[in-house]
């Protein structure tokens, strides 16, 4: 059995929540000043971060906070050029996903004065790992979960085990039963169809992808996996609108696809309606007999019937590390990030009452250890 990540979830009490003070913007409405705090990266937390920007900046902070979405909010396409700050040096290719955001942060690109950074924060839906390099620190601010999703009316089954999922994304049915061969078929995991399951992964910089593969213990996805792109188009995380999932785009296989989805993002798209609805006809499914959502359509992260802890994850803001790996610290220079992020405690704005409101609206759960630092 794989080790479970330690998670601490705090229930958001509705009575204590203060309403957000403004409507979120997708991308900054004008190019941020060089002294602004700027974030790029994760798709999963881009809409929440847009709302954070609106609400935090309404407090007139010394250094306002702005967040660039993972893909162009008008065209929906990745890879365009953005000017993260109002400086000639700050023109970059838009980072798409947690990994891309952290990579950009690690470039340590500075403004022409050589004083301020063009990117101060990478949004990340996974914690930092050794391959991200040294000299960075992650700040926990919320919790989420990941599960698998299948098309409503398709051949999918409503519950799979850890072993099933490892076999499916390894394309190795013998992990389930030594008499099985090749890619996993639905009838080998409790379904009725003899079709092979078509597992789907989002593009390679996705933090949701990285965390999911870690959760199910798959290092290299099998050859049956639709791996990051379909018909020449990148597959973004937390969407069911890519052609691979639709009858029009994948008429011979759409009933057999099995994708992955953030529970919080699904809640925000389908139930609270705070994020654009891109779920298509995908339905979240159970793992090991546990449901990803509660009866009140919130993510199921606490109590005896909670979703398996393996699939519960933290959501993070990653910055350059002003301390050491063993004693990480949020930068206070050239821009002081502590008013927004805290300093290894829950004093930052992201751990406060308004942020808790936003976290709930966007489908995620607050963390009792909000502000906790992980450094390398």
- Report the candidate in 134, 58, 140, 96 with the shortest Cα–Cα distance to residue 366: 140
- Residues with Cβ within 8 Å of 23's Cβ and at least 6 positions away in sequence, in order, are 54
Please report which confidence band the pLDDT of residue 20 belongs to, taking 50, 70 and 90 as the band edges. very low
Which pTM was predicted?
0.93
Tell me the percentage of the chain whose pLDDT exceeds 90. 93
Contact 200, 244 (CB under 8 A): yes
At 337, list the tokens. 């990030």
Q: What is the distance between the alpha carbons of residues 356 and 353, in angstroms, rounded to a whole number? A: 5
Q: What is the distance between the alpha carbons of residues 199 and 165, in angstroms, rounded to a whole number? A: 9
Residue 17 has pLDDT above 70, yes or no: no
State pLDDT tens for residues 245-284: 999 999 999 999 999 999 999 999 999 999 999 999 999 9
Assign domain 9-142+312-375 to its CATH superfamily. Answer: Periplasmic binding protein-like II (3.40.190.10)
DSSP 281-308: TEEE-EETTB-SB-TTSSB--SSTTPPP
State pLDDT tens for residues 354-363: 999 999 999 9
For the segment 289-304, the average pLDDT, to the nearest whole number, is: 97
The domains spanning 9-142+312-375 and 144-309 adopt the same CATH topology: yes
State the architecture of 144-309 in CATH terms: 3-Layer(aba) Sandwich (3.40)
Please report which confidence band the pLDDT of residue 13 belongs to, taking 50, 70 and 90 as the band edges. very low
Q: What are the structural domain ranges in the chain?
A: 9-142+312-375, 144-309
Tell me the average pLDDT of the chain: 94
- Report the candidate in 144, 274, 323, 160 with the shortest Cα–Cα distance to residue 331: 323
State pLDDT tens for residues 124-159: 999 999 999 999 999 999 999 999 999 999 999 999
């Amino acid at each position: 059995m794989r080790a479970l990540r330690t998670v601490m979830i705090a229930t958001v009490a509705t009575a204590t929540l203060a309403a957000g003070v403004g409507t979120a913007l997708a991308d900054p409405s004008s190019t941020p000043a060089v002294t602004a705090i700027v974030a790029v990266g994760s798709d999963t937390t881009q809409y929440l971060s847009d709302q954070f920007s609106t609400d935090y900046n309404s407090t007139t902070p010394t250094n306002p906070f702005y967040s660039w979405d993972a893909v162009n909010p008008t065209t929906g396409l990745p890879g365009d050029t953005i000017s993260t700050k109002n400086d000639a040096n700050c023109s970059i290719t838009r980072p798409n996903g947690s990994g891309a955001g952290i990579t950009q942060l690690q470039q340590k690109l500075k403004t022409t004065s050589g004083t301020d950074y063009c990117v101060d924060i990478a949004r990340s839906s996974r914690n930092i790992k050794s391959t991200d390099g040294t000299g960075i620190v992650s700040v926990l601010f919320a919790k989420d979960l990941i599960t698998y999703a299948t098309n409503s009316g398709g051949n999918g089954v409503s519950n799979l085990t850890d072993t099933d999922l490892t076999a499916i994304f390894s394309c190795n049915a013998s992990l389930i039963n030594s008499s099985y061969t090749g890619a996993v078929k639905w009838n080998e995991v409790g379904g009725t169809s003899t079709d092979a399951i078509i597992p789907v992964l989002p593009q390679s910089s996705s933090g949701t992808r990285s965390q999911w593969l870690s959760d199910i213990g798959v290092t290299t996805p099998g050859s049956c996996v639709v791996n990051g792109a379909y018909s020449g188009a990148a597959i973004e995380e937390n969407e069911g609108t890519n052609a691979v999932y639709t009858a029009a785009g994948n008429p011979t296989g759409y009933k057999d696809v099995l994708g992955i989805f953030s529970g919080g993002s699904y809640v925000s798209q389908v139930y609270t309606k705070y994020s654009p609805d891109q779920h298509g006809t995908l339905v979240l499914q159970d793992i090991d007999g546990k449901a990803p959502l509660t009866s009140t359509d919130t993510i199921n992260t606490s109590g005896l019937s909670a979703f398996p802890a393996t699939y519960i994850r933290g959501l993070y803001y990653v910055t350059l590390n002003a301390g050491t790996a063993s004693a990480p610290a949020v930068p206070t220079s050239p821009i002081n990030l502590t008013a927004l992020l805290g300093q290894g405690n829950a004093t930052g704005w992201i751990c406060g009452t308004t942020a808790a409101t936003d976290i709930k609206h966007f489908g995620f759960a607050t963390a009792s250890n909000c502000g906790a630092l992980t450094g390398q």
